Amino acid sequence: MDITINKKMVNKSEKEQDFTPVFKINNLNLWYGQDHALKDIKFDIPEKQVTAIIGPSGCGKSTFIKTLNRMVEMVPIVRMSGEIVYRDKNIFQPKYGVEELRTQVGMVFQKPNPFPKSIYENVAYGPRIHGIKNKKVLDEVVEKSLRGAAIWDEVKDRLNENAYGLSGGQQQRLCIARCLAIEPDVILMDEPTSALDPISTLKVEELVQELKKDYSIVIVTHNMQQAARISDRTAFFLNGEVVEYTDTSTLFSNPSDKRTEDYITGRFG
Residue ranges that bind other proteins, judged by CB under 8 A:
1-6, 9-11, 224-225, 228, 252-255, 261, 264-269
Q: Which of 62, 39, 72, 80 is nearest to 192 (CA)?
A: 62
Q: How far is the CB of 263 from other proteins (least distance, A)?
A: 10
- Looking at the Cβ atoms of 55 and 114, the one nearer to other proteins is 55
DSSP labels for 8-55? Answer: GGS-GGGG---S-EEEEEEEEEEEETTEEEEEEEEEEEETTSEEEEE-
Q: How far apart are CA 63 and CA 12, in angstroms?
A: 30
User: Which residues are CB-neighbours of 152 under 8 A, at least 6 positions away?
Assistant: 143, 146
Minimal distance in Å, beta carbon 178 to other proteins? 32
Rounded distance, CA 27 to CA 193, Å?
30
In the bound state with other proteins, the residue whose beta carbon lies nearer, of 2 and 88, is 2
Cα torsion angle, 157, 162, 168, 173, sign? positive
Could you tell me the smallest distance in angstroms from the CB atom of residue 134 to other proteins?
49
Strand partners, 241: 238
Q: Which is nearer to other proteins, 178 or 233 (CB)?
A: 233
Q: Taking Cα atoms as reference points, which of 100, 184, 200 lies closest to residue 148? A: 184
| Minimum distance, C-beta of residue 260 to other proteins, in the bound complex (Å) | 8
Smallest distance from other proteins to CB 224, Å: 7
| Residue with Cβ nearer other proteins (39 or 259) | 259
154 vs 262 by CB, closer to other proteins: 262
